[in-house]
Amino acid sequence: MSTPATLLAHDPVVLAPMEDVTDAPFRRACRAVGATLCVTEFVAAEQILADTQLARRRCLLAADDRPTAIQIYGANPEMLRDAALVAAQANPAFIDINCGCWVPKIACRGAGAGWLREPAAMVEMARRIVAALSLPVTIKTRIGWGPESHMPIVELARRLEDAGVAALTIHCRTAQMGHTGAADWIWARRAREAVSIPVIVNGDVRSARDVVRALRETGCAGVMIGRAAIAHPWIFREARALLDNLPLVEPTLAERVAMYRMLLASNVAARGHHGLGMTRRHIGVLGPLLATLKLPVLRAPTLAATNELLDQALHGQRIIENVW
């Protein structure tokens, strides 16, 4: 069984869990351009235990969708433990517990970053899940709930290691910051210096050069990439190139169109007509073609119509929106 440490030693760049983004089609697309270790969208413990269609879809890992960790969240430690046991049946790389989601509807009921309000309870929750599972258990969290004067992350990292947590991902903002302000990677470095388990740094990693800089400045075992991958999944290929002292290779227009087609085909296959709209969140992958393609693609009513527009752009033809 691979551990987070061995997986990160092979490739230290990880695709972050993102709600409604890091589904199976997007993980497959990112792997096609260099990603290795991925984490699913988070799944509520209650949904897993109720065996909902959403939970089944998010916990389903195909043979070509590995190594992938399943991330779960919840406020009740017993339900989290039981949900982790169910999720482990999919044989993920590991189970990750979300203790970092700052969105009020999650955190204010004690799940996600809400655990940072009670670090002792978070540690005990982690201990119970580690004791129940044969798979590695990891935690993704933030540097604290509120102001910098109340930053628990270094001591919390030590206690989570003592509880048996196999790795720790630190988004270097507080919960109250959300996505505002700058992520302060120094906290990941301080936590890494305090523990022997792998620490993964997260937050404000916007480019391949940021990946290299984050690893150098923190000494962490890995870097987790979230929002930057949505419109530019080639960040994984570029990061690998820089880490191997190779030149960066920008994606060609043909690659950009092929990427959108891949996402489009996968989403439509998985979700039917609804997959057309799901793919539009990744329209940024079209890069320089966006100026002429964005509005036509957003208005295209079918898979065939979208592919026709992509063909026109790729071959330098004038974009013609048919009367659909």
Instruction: Report d(CA 51, CA 252) in Å as an integer.
Output: 42
Residue 321: partners with Cβ closer than 8 Å, 6 or more residues away: 296, 299, 300, 309
Q: Tell which residue, 130, 127, 103, has the closest CA to residue 114.
A: 103
Neighbour count for residue 249 (Cβ, 10 Å)? 11
Q: Which of 30, 38, 101, 220 is catalytic?
A: 101
Element (H, E) at 98: strand 95-99
Instruction: Report d(CA 45, CA 58) in Å as an integer.
Output: 12
Angle between helix 208-218 and 186-194 (nearest 10): 40
- What is the signed CA dihedral for 181, 182, 187, 188, rounded to 10 degrees? 120
Neighbour count for residue 65 (Cβ, 10 Å)? 16
Residue 34: partners with Cβ closer than 8 Å, 6 or more residues away: 13, 234, 236, 237, 238, 239, 240
Task: Judge whether 30 counts as a catalytic residue.
Answer: no
Would you list the DSSP string of 242-288? HHTT----PPPHHHHHHHHHHHHHHHHHHHTTHHHHHHGGGGGGGGG
Residues known to be catalytic: 101
